[in-house]
Structure 1
Amino acid sequence: MQTIITIDELRSVLTPLRRQGLRIALVPTMGNLHAGHIRLVEEAVKKADIVVASIFVNPLQFGANEDLDKYPRTLDADKLKLESAGCSFLFTPSDQEIYPEGRNTQTLVEVPGLSELYCGHSRPGHFVGVATVVCKLFNIVQPDIAFFGKKDFQQLRVIRKMVADLCIPIEIVGIPIVRADSGLALSSRNGYLSAEELTAASQMHQVLLACSDKIHQGERSYRELEDSALTLLEKAGFKRDYLRIVRQEDLLAAQADDTKLVILAAAYMGHTRLIDNVEIDL
């Protein structure tokens, strides 16, 4: 695996490979890699000839009081994991490389509507930062296919819509959530949790599954289900952010006759904000 830090070098390496007709995949990450990230790389290896992973802690998607400065950075360990998974190239640009004229004058990419819901409401500007950096990475790498985890279901929908709206010729693949044995969705931010908080945090998935079971059993009072699920999260020790039962396609509130749903949830365990979701096909 070759590590590259500049856009020019990455393009010079990938251009002849692209001309050979080789299929190029991109796996964008912010590092501190866990088994969920590695699953993305492993799936990319199956579907492409060349796999490019990026590690960039994107300041544009962090709010003023969020954890940009303390976000875990474990580059040496990440490199070992990526190489073992079959990654071809690792792109690790600096902030200056991605935003050479500074972030305040950076052209922004916004996906209206979707970006303002749920996590977008709780973290204003977050999805503008995500869409902007992902669009830049797409233009830098020019992959044929890109892989994202479904843990951030809303992010995946934002990226899919951006690609469709801007006619970007890239196939977007969503990979199912990888979980700990307890059911907790793997996340780099899980490292912030104490042992006691880790145990309690696993209840989020159990609450979502219980809500899903009720829907499969015929319950269609979705707003009541949301309220009762939020109450259960609070009893488990969470501070609520949101829990919504929505349509998979556009993330709008689910109605009784909808068949493809997803339960989206975000809540705080201590000072750590966790997200999770469960898809439902009726």
Structure 2
Amino acid sequence: MQVYEKRLDIMSCVATFSTQKKSIGFVPTMGALHRGHLALVQQALNENDKVVVSIFVNPTQFNNTEDLVNYPRTLDSDIELLSGISKDIIVFAPTPKEVYGDETISTNYNFGGLENEMEGKFRPGHFDGVGTVLKHFFTIVSPTRAYFGEKDFQQLQIVRKLVDIEKMSVKIVGCPIFREESGLALSSRNKRLNQQQLEVSPLIYKTLKQVKKDFGIKSVSKLNEWVSTQFENHNELRLEYFEIAKVSDLKTIKRKQKNKKYRAFIAVFAGEIRLIDNIALN
């Protein structure tokens, strides 16, 4: 397996693929890989001649310094996991200096308001960091297709907007959420959950499934109230937000309209560990 740390080295590698007219699939990750990541990688392998996986904990998308410090970093085991799928995967594991140069700062983006909803309300500057690092990676890797999980559905929509803004040719592919048997959405942060938190966290998806079931018969306000009651006075889980939003612009709604697509979005703290999830409602 080829592992590159230097920008110029991997650019030279992918330039060879372009010359040979080979398609390149790209899976950007922050490491601490799990089966959800591996599902993205497998889809990329199925649909492209070559696959690049980046492993990079991006400092500019963390608005919480403690979260950045505590984010799991498991490069050796990540490479071992990837090699179990295919020895032909190319790994790009740069330092911040290789990605950003001498100044690790974000570009300020206008994503048409997508950045101000849900995650944007609680994580100021987060999507500027996401957009900035992905612009760097898309420039370095020159992928044909890039793969993102729908667990971060807001991010997925913003990445599509980024490609339009920057006029890049990469095709953005959204992939279904990968879950534990319990229903808990797989996340690198799950590795930080203790046993008790792992046992109660499936309530998040259970709640979303009930919202989906009731979406056609209950009002938005009633659903909002019901979700709040599920987490009131819970010993292990604290609701940060629950919102029902239009898929097109991610605007929170107060009432439903015909011929519109909606998703429910949720963020919950299990102790100090923040978990997010979402579900299509119609």
TM-score w.r.t. length of structure 2: 0.94
Amino acid paired to 2:183: G
Deviations 1:224-249 (A, max 9, x none): 21221122133554212111111112
Bigger CA drift: 272-281 or 95-104?
A: 95-104
Residue 240 of structure 1 corresponds to which residue in structure 2?
Answer: 239
Residue 225 of structure 1 corresponds to which residue in structure 2?
Answer: 223
Amino acid paired to 1:84: G
Amino acid paired to 2:144: D
For the 8 Å contact 1:150–1:174, the answer to whether it is kept is yes
TM-score w.r.t. length of structure 1: 0.94
CA distance in 1, matches of 2:281, 2:138: 30
Instruction: Give the secondary-structure state (helix, strand or coil) at the position aligned to 1:246.
Output: strand
Bigger CA drift: 223-232 or 156-165?
A: 223-232
CA distance in 1, matches of 2:124, 2:177: 25
Residue 3 of structure 1 corresponds to which residue in structure 2?
Answer: 3
CA distance in 1, matches of 2:166, 2:62: 24
Shift, 1:144, TM fit:
0.6
Gaps of 5+ in 1: none
Shift, 1:109, TM fit:
4.1
CA distance in 2, matches of 1:258, 1:235: 37
Residue 251 of structure 1 corresponds to which residue in structure 2?
Answer: 250
Residue 77 of structure 2 corresponds to which residue in structure 1?
Answer: 77
State the Cα RMSD in Å.
1.5
For the 8 Å contact 1:247–1:258, the answer to whether it is kept is no
For the 8 Å contact 2:96–2:104, the answer to whether it is kept is no
Structure 1 runs, 4 residues or longer, greater than 6 Å off: none
Instruction: Give the secondary-structure state (helix, strand or coil) at the position aligned to 1:140.
Output: helix
Instruction: Give the secondary-structure state (helix, strand or coil) at the position aligned to 1:147.
Output: strand
Amino acid paired to 1:100: G
CA distance in 1, matches of 2:46, 2:231: 38
For the 8 Å contact 1:36–1:186, the answer to whether it is kept is yes
Instruction: Give the secondary-structure state (helix, strand or coil) at the position aligned to 1:63.
Output: coil
Bigger CA drift: 253-262 or 41-50?
A: 253-262
CA distance in 1, matches of 2:72, 2:48: 29
Give the fraction of aligned pairs with identical amino acids, expressed as a percent.
Answer: 38
